[in-house]
Amino acid sequence: MWLQPHDMARFGWLYLNKGQWAGRQIVPADWVAASTRGHVAAVPFDHYGYQWWIDSGGYYMAVGYKGQRIFVVPEKNMVAVFTGELTGREALTAKKLLDFFIIRAASATDAMPADMQAHTRLIALINAAAQAPPSGYTWFAEDEGRAQDGVFKRTATPGFEFAYPAGSKKVIRDAPGQVMRMKTPSGVDFSASVVDTPEGLPLEDFGAGFYARQLAWVGSNIEIISNREITLNCGTRAFRTEISWLWQNSVPITTSLVTAYRDGQVIFVCAHPWKNHDEVEPIVGSITLN
């Protein structure tokens, strides 16, 4: 499911109220009780019920991919929701924030009086956090690459640059060799990578062969739509590859990949739209090697 935070919170609120919504029993109370009780001792958390993980601290949670969380804390009459782009050990960040800050800060189980001044300040802080910092984004170091004012530029060897849509946000790199990774406002994932050139591999076989095989680790139904030679804006020979596949065997994606060789290394920029394909061309069509 693709859910907004308020939609996630509705699920938590429904279960917090034992299956009732606005006085109407939507889900049987017995099912709520059974599904939020630990039936299996499991990892990475304490117990597992029916689609809910149960924590020994007295609450239960819905655990989604890369840090999406719904926490229901009956003792505090609380529902807390997190969205994110977290992998590995960082995926535990939401639970740590809940345990060490949010639950401890809850001084009462009833709603607090409205504080419009504090609400206005909170909205201002949220809006400020949503804006890209004036200095732009970096992942390693300045020369390894910086995204700023709609352009990602790498000055280390091999150097290159390309444009990206306004409002795109930095996300955590998730593959070897990535020097950057971002998402457009509509959620199109794109990245740039620099790796050693596979020995004896012609440029035309990198995208359609080597890269396509890597997608098998995260998806299925991989099919090469096209693989053609192009010339970058700087005059460099490159290849443009279009690949259709199913991410996690369910989400249809058409990856656009541009690959170039320079000084024994491969530079490739790729975009993975599951919707809004219009955002892809300004990225992969603007690459220039320095």
Task: Please tell me the predicted confidence (pLDDT) of residue 249.
Answer: 85
Query: Cα(249)–Cα(9) distance, rounded to whole angstroms?
Result: 27
Say how far apart CA 186 and CA 117 lie, in whole Å: 32
Q: Which CATH superfamily is domain 137-289 in?
A: Mog1/PsbP, alpha/beta/alpha sandwich (3.40.1000.10)
pLDDT for residue 134: 64
Residues of the chain with pLDDT under 50: none
Residue ranges per domain, the chain?
5-110, 137-289
Note the pLDDT of residue 42: 87
Which of 256, 245, 258, 252 lies closest to 279, judged by CA?
256
- CA angle at residue 93 from 31 to 76, to 5 degrees? 45
- Class of domain 5-110 as given by CATH: alpha beta
Cis bond before residue 44 (omega within 30° of 0): yes
pTM of the entire predicted model: 0.65
pLDDT of residue 202: 96
Domains 5-110 and 137-289 share a fold: no
What pLDDT does residue 178 have? 95
Q: In this predicted structure, what is the pLDDT of residue 154? A: 96
